[in-house]
Amino acid sequence: MSTPYSHVSSVTDDGRIRLRDRDLVSEVIGHLSFTEAIHLAIRGETPSASEVQVLDAVLVALIDHGVTSSTLAARMTYRAAPEALQGAIAAGVLNSGGRVLGAMEGCARLLERWAPEVDPADVTEVAAQLVAVERSAGRRIPGLGHAMHEAGDLRADRLFEVARDAGHAGVHVDLLLAVVDAVEAQSGRALPINVTGAIGAVLVDLGYPAGLLRGFGILSRVPGLIAHLGEEMETGTGGRLIRHLQHGDVWSELDA
């Protein structure tokens, strides 16, 4: 067997592919689901059934969000270069920034920074301190508020429910929920948790590092981009969508 250059994957001298410590053909294909293989590749271990349940819910939650900047970028790139589907998908992926899809990373980093201060018996004091520090610095707390879901993001509520039922809602979820109350108490504004904030808290509680979380937004959204591109191939509706935007039918897509 050849010496691997990466612990993620390697190819043996006889041409067999290994994903972490598993033979891809004999131990992964047909044995693990895509979600299980994702966890194996990133974390290096086979997930439990409850971990799969939570990760699956996360990946489904962001699969699509209507006509957004990412889907429009993908559609318009395809219209310009229909011979390069990969370019259209890449254009959509590149719309994953700090305020669209990517807020889960910022939220998770903030929670990771403050979670060690939490007393399991009372998370409210740490939440209040967190909000006070961020407000005094003039920083927006990532993962809160949504232009299209001002009354609350049902996707976030459902993710928390799945995580609780699976036994994987921990200190980061508790802290984020307490932050919502602290924001309202200190600012007088009700800013519900959006889906990216929920994903940030849930995935950190599941053991994923904050620095990788934006990748899950990309991983989740790609099937939606493929679906939009399939529709674009069939109907060419992207041009009409752009005309709507040009005539002022514009919406804000923050923390989609």
In tens digits, the chain (256 residues) has pLDDT values of 555 578 899 888 888 999 998 999 999 999 999 999 999 999 999 999 999 999 999 999 999 877 788 888 899 899 899 999 999 999 999 887 766 677 889 999 999 999 999 887 789 999 999 999 999 999 989 988 755 555 568 999 999 999 999 999 999 999 999 999 999 999 988 899 999 999 999 999 999 999 999 999 899 999 999 999 999 998 877 666 666 655 555 444 444 4
Fold type of domain 103-211: Cytochrome p450-Terp; domain 2 (1.10.230)
The sign of the dihedral angle between the CA atoms of 201, 207, 213, 217 is: negative
Tokens of 240: 């009409």
Domain ranges of the chain: 103-211
Task: Report which of 91, 195, 196, 89 is spatially closest to residue 152, judged by C-alpha positions.
Answer: 195
pTM score of the predicted model: 0.86
